[in-house]
Amino acid sequence: MAAGERIKIVIELSYDEQTGLIISVSFGLLTVEEIRRSHKEIRSIMGRARAKFGRANYMVDARNSPIQPRDVMAEAERLGSFLEHPSDRMAIVVSSALAKMQSRRALDAQTAYPQNGEVFLSEDEARTWLLQA
């Protein structure tokens, strides 16, 4: 994926070469194949960001995404967390306090570095948190 290029299926991915910020925005129900494809692409972009910035900053905007089907969630779990390196950071933006609580619980359970992940109700707060030193 080239800088500035966007992939839009049900997930839109973007990567800012200047800041190293990776953003995925989900728009609806995903399929297992979309999860696999996006997971592979996100991991590739995170590798590029680590090579250039020493860490990967990844923001997931899930505000317009409903609760996903069980098979999609199981596949996402099987594929593993994006927080694999101690320097990586991940922010999830959600639309409700309940979604925030559920996302926090998932981060704590699925990642090797749960302290490097945070859940926000505001995109601006998430972006600021990710880009701070």
pLDDT in tens, 72-116: 888 887 787 788 889 999 999 999 998 898 888 888 877 778 889
Cα separations in angstroms, 92 against 1, 52, 56, 63, 108: 22, 23, 14, 9, 13
**Is pLDDT larger for residue 66 or for residue 48?**
48
pLDDT given at position 41: 92
- Is residue 26 in some structural domain? yes
Name the residue range of residue 46's domain: 7-131
- Is residue 61 in some structural domain? yes
- Is residue 1 in some structural domain? no
How many domains, in total, are found in the chain?
1
At 32, which CATH number? Answer: 3.30.750.24
DSSP secondary structure string for all residues of 67-80: PPPHHHHHHHHHH-
- Is residue 47 in some structural domain? yes
pLDDT band at residue 8 using 50, 70 and 90 as cut-offs = very low
Is pTM beyond 0.75? Reply is yes
CA-nearest of 98, 107, 54 to 76 is: 107
